[in-house]
């Protein structure tokens, strides 16, 4: 496992991070989830990403159980605030930021959160109020680094303009071979201001995992076939996209890589990216993914990937 610094913060994180969206505290048994967390630690993963809204707190509670007896300095915890946690419990007002942070601390069973991120932008709350509340949490020792997920360049610039607050050091956008939108403005803007990227969906919600083939129905147990998850994958599972992704297989094989390894190495080729978040329902999936850390793709291979996917990039 290789490690990178998160922006201009003092946090060093593993290139591969373990996430808990749609898995831990929800669709995966607690026993299997704990096994995955322990396998991640054994594989050198130090960054674990969650959110208060995942399983309505259940994902955070699961991580607390998984980390029982493990030294706190062996892992970096990232969680988020904004999404609804009950009636009237939504957004980034100062009251909500404080309340939800304390609730996350209790569920996670820790004295501090390493990376506390705004899950989305809150247009109903003055940005100075949100930034001030986050700064208070840092000054109180409850949070080490603050950040955001899926903010527009305009949102980020507005935050940078707020005076006398703790600056953001983390950004969490969707990023993959099939979703490249952050490259245009978010990556360079953040790099110029010491904000690192922890990217999610580097496998395009599984579309780049190798499990889907053109002209064939998705596996019955896959996300593309699941109730409540298939709609989120619609753009990535369109037939022209699957056909293009199929053409990546010989490129991965020639490089001695699996499809997930190729996709993760492609994301990690960017110096702005500190870590790529993967999900796992079985420990062996973690071991397969971590081998992408440290892989360098040749320039001609990157060019071939771009040519193959030229008409398949959806964002």
The Cα 122–Cα 118 span in angstroms is 9
Write the CA distances from 132 to 63, 217, 226, integer angstroms.
28, 50, 41
User: Which residue in the list 3, 24, 54, 200 is annotated as catalytic?
Assistant: 54
Inter-residue contact 110 to 150 (CB < 8 Å): no
Tell which residue, 109, 112, 115, 116, has the closest CA to residue 64: 109
Q: Yes or no: say if 312 and 244 are a contact pair by the CB < 8 Å rule.
A: yes
CA distances 55 to 23, 52, 67, 93, 216, Å, are: 9, 8, 18, 22, 32
Task: Tell me, yes or no, if 3 is annotated catalytic.
Answer: no
Residue with tokens 């706190």: 72
Q: How many CA within 13 A on the CB side of residue 17?
A: 31
Q: 166 by DSSP, 3-state: which?
A: coil
Are 202 and 175 spatial neighbours (Cβ–Cβ below 8 Å)?
Answer: yes
* Separation CA 23–CA 219 (nearest Å): 18
Q: Which of 179, 177, 182, 180 is nearest to 197 (CA)?
A: 182
DSSP 280: -
Which tokens belong to 246? 């199929």
Q: Tokens representing 53?
A: 């809204």
Q: State the DSSP H helix or E strand holding residue 60, giving kind and residue range, or none if neither.
A: helix 58-66
Q: Supply the residues annotated as catalytic.
A: 54
């Amino acid at each position: 496992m290789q490690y990178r610094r998160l922006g201009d913060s003092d946090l060093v994180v593993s290139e591969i991070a373990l996430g808990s969206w749609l898995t831990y505290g929800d669709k995966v048994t607690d026993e299997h989830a704990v096994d995955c967390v322990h396998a991640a630690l054994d594989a050198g993963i130090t960054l674990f990403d969650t959110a208060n809204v995942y399983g309505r707190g259940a994902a955070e509670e699961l991580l607390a159980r998984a980390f029982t007896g493990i030294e706190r300095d062996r892992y970096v915890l990232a969680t988020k605030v904004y999404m609804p946690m009950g009636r009237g419990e939504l957004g980034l007002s100062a009251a909500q930021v404080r309340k939800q942070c304390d609730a996350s601390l209790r569920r996670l069973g820790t004295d501090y959160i390493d990376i506390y991120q705004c899950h989305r932008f809150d247009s109903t709350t003055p940005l100075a109020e949100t930034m001030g509340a986050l700064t208070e949490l840092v000054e109180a020792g409850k949070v080490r680094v603050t950040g955001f997920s899926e903010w527009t360049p305009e949102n980020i610039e507005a935050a940078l303009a707020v005076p006398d607050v703790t600056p953001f050091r983390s950004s969490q956008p969707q990023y993959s071979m099939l979703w490249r939108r952050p490259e245009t403005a978010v990556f360079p803007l953040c790099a110029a201001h010491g904000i690192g990227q922890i990217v999610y969906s580097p496998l395009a919600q599984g579309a780049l995992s190798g499990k889907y083939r053109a002209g064939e129905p998705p596996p019955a147990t896959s996300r593309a076939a699941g109730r409540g998850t298939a709609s989120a994958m619609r753009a990535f599972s369109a037939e022209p996209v699957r056909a293009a992704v199929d053409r990546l297989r010989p490129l991965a094989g020639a490089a001695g890589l699996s499809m997930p390894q190729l996709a993760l190495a492609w994301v990690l080729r960017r110096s702005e990216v500190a870590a790529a978040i993967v999900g796992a329902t079985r420990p062996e999936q973690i071991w397969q993914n971590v081998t992408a850390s440290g892989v360098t793709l040749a320039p001609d291979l990157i060019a071939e990937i771009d040519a193959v996917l030229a008409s398949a990039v959806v964002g």
